[in-house]
Amino acid sequence: MVERSLWHPVALAGEVAQAPVAVQVLEQPVVLWRDAEGAVRAFADQCPHRGARLSLGRVTAAGRLECPYHGWQFAASGQCTHVPALPAFVPPSGHCARAFEACEANGLLWVRLAPGDTPPPAFAAEDDARLRKLHCGPYDVAASAPRIIENFLDMSHFGFVHEGWLGSRDATAIDDYRVEPTPTGLRATGCKAWQPQSSLHATAPAQVEYTYEVTAPYAAVLTKVPETGTTAVDGWRESIALFICPMTPVHSRVWFRLAVADFESPDEKLQAFQHTIFTQDQPVLESQMPQRLPLDLRAELHTAADKASSAYRRFLRQRGITFGVC
User: Among ligand FES, Fe ion, none, what binds residue 225 when CB lies within 5 to 8 Å by partner kind?
Assistant: none
Distance in angstroms (rounded) separating the CA atoms of residues 125 and 238: 9
Contact call for residue 130 and ligand FES (CB under 6 A): no
Q: In what order do the strands lie in the sheet with 65-66?
A: 58-59, 65-66, 73-74, 80-82
Closest approach of Cβ 118 to ligand FES, in Å? 34
Contact call for residue 210 and ligand FES (CB under 6 A): no
Cβ-based nearer residue to ligand FES, 55 or 252: 55
Element containing residue 255 per DSSP (H, E): strand 251-260
CA distances from 243 to 108, 174, 175, 218 (A): 9, 26, 27, 7
State the sign of the Cα–Cα–Cα–Cα dihedral 205, 153, 117, 249: positive
What does the binding site for Fe ion look like in residue numbers (CB under 5 A)? 281
Note if the bond before 29 is cis, omega within 30 degrees: no
Contact call for residue 98 and ligand FES (CB under 6 A): no
User: Among ligand FES, Fe ion, none, what binds residue 69 when CB lies within 5 to 8 Å by partner kind?
Assistant: ligand FES
User: Among Fe ion, ligand FES, none, what binds residue 281 when CB lies within 5 to 8 Å by partner kind?
Assistant: Fe ion
Q: In this structure, how many other beta carbons lie within 10 angstroms of the beta carbon of residue 192?
A: 16
Cβ-based nearer residue to ligand FES, 70 or 130: 70
Distance in angstroms (rounded) separating the CA atoms of residues 77 and 100: 9
User: Among ligand FES, Fe ion, none, what binds residue 49 when CB lies within 5 to 8 Å by partner kind?
Assistant: ligand FES
Closest approach of Cβ 286 to Fe ion, in Å? 13
Distance in angstroms (rounded) separating the CA atoms of residues 64 and 78: 9
Cβ-based nearer residue to ligand FES, 88 or 301: 88
Cβ-based nearer residue to ligand FES, 70 or 178: 70
Query: Restricting to residues 28-87, which ones interact with ligand FES according to CB under 6 A?
Result: 47, 49-50, 52, 67, 69-70, 72
Which of 305, 314, 8 lies closest to 157 in space, CA to CA?
Answer: 305
List residues near ligand FES by CB under 6 A.
47, 49-50, 52, 67, 69-70, 72
